[in-house]
């Protein structure tokens, strides 16, 4: 019976060859080869890489994939969030800041039609509507799982109250800005709060990092809210300490660290 399930799971009309990479905790992680369908510029140094989604491939918003690339004579394997939502049936995408490191440079040379190897889905930093009040704390590229969650939230018409606090360096660094602002206009229970550490003179929002005053002001019911925090390790640690000082229980804090590469 298990074998029959796996055979069905691996079949897909696109003809994408899929194999089982691992099975852990009831999660089937698949390995498959894909070709880039589209490359979407998000900011001056951030791009989304989109490819066909096998019809039998399922994942949860907030999960990640391993992307395998050849860099010179070396094969490098790195985790990257699936920034698309499971509700977007025609494609999967990951979104990456091109930092000048070897892995980023290799991504930056990819063109439509080029192939790469994927292992997915992985991770438990997920939200599918299980909490009535949620706060998403994102720093930099920590916005990628939040985008997946927010898109799923809209497409599934979830009734959760969501506040997204998003910290960036400058306005030019705000990834998915138009889409997130569009969600706020059409979802009465969704609030977007952006703060910049290097704000220009015309910036009307918060300046500085996410802090206790911002959380108290924007999320007055924070002690009854489940927090998802994602970004550079130092930011995630700072958010965890901040939430602890505010009396948010450990079970109400979910975290994901992003390394730069």
- Tell me the per-residue pLDDT of 109-161, one tens digit each, with 9 for 90 and over: 999 999 999 999 999 999 999 999 999 999 999 999 999 999 999 999 999 99
- What tokens appear for 221 in the block? 């019911």
Residue range 49-95, pLDDT digits in tens: 999 998 889 999 999 999 999 888 888 999 999 999 999 999 999 99
pLDDT at 7 over 50: no
| Boundary (domain end) residue, out of 69, 102, 122 | 122
CATH number (domain holding residue 212): 3.40.50.80
pLDDT digits (tens, 9 = 90+) for 186-225: 999 999 999 999 999 999 999 999 999 999 999 999 999 9
Give yes or no: residues 177 and 61 share one domain: no
pLDDT at residue 166 is higher than 60: yes
Q: Are strands 190-196 and 161-168 parallel, antiparallel or unpaired?
A: parallel
Residue 70 and residue 48 share a domain: yes
Domain that holds residue 34: 2-122
Please, what is the angle between helix 177-186 and helix 143-155, to 10°?
30
What pLDDT is attached to residue 70?
84
Does 128 fall in a domain?
A: no
Q: Do residues 84 and 180 share a domain? A: no
∠ CA 237-135-62, nearest 5°, is 80
For residues 92 and 84, the answer to whether their CB atoms sit within 8 Å is yes
| Alpha carbon separation from 119 to 4, 23, 211 (Å, rounded) | 21, 12, 36
Query: What integer pLDDT is reported at residue 18 of this predicted model?
Result: 60
Helix/strand/coil for 255: strand
Convert the pLDDT of each residue in 225-243 to its tens digit: 999 999 999 999 999 999 9
Which residues neighbour 118 within 8 Å (Cβ) at sequence distance 6 or greater? Answer: 31, 32, 33, 34, 51, 65, 66, 67, 68, 92
């Amino acid at each position: 019976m298990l074998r029959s399930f796996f055979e069905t799971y691996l079949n897909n009309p696109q003809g994408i060859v899929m194999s089982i990479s691992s099975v852990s905790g009831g999660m089937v992680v698949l390995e498959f080869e894909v070709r880039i369908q589209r490359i979407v510029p998000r900011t001056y140094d951030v791009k989304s890489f989109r490819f066909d989604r096998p019809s039998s491939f399922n994942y949860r918003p907030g999960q990640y994939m391993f992307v395998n690339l050849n860099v010179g004579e070396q094969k490098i394997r790195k985790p990257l969030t699936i920034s698309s939502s499971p509700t977007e049936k025609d494609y999967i995408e990951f979104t990456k800041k091109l930092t000048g490191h070897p892995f980023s440079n290799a991504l930056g040379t990819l063109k439509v039609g080029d192939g790469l190897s994927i292992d997915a889905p992985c991770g438990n930093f997920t939200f599918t509507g299980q909490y009535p009040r949620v706060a998403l704390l994102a720093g930099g590229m920590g916005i990628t799982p939040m985008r997946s969650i927010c898109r799923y939230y809209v497409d599934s018409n979830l009734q959760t109250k969501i506040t997204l606090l998003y910290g960036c360096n400058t306005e030019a660094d705000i990834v998915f800005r138009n889409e997130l602002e569009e969600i706020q206009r059409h979802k009465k229970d969704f609030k977007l709060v952006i703060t910049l550490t290097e704000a220009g003179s015309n910036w009307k929002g918060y300046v500085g990092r996410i802090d206790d005053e911002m959380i108290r002001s924007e999320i007055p019911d924070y002690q009854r809210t489940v927090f998802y925090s994602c970004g550079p390790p130092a930011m995630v640690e700072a958010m965890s300490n901040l939430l602890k000082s505010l009396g948010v229980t450990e079970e109400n804090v979910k975290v994901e660290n992003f390394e730069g590469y």
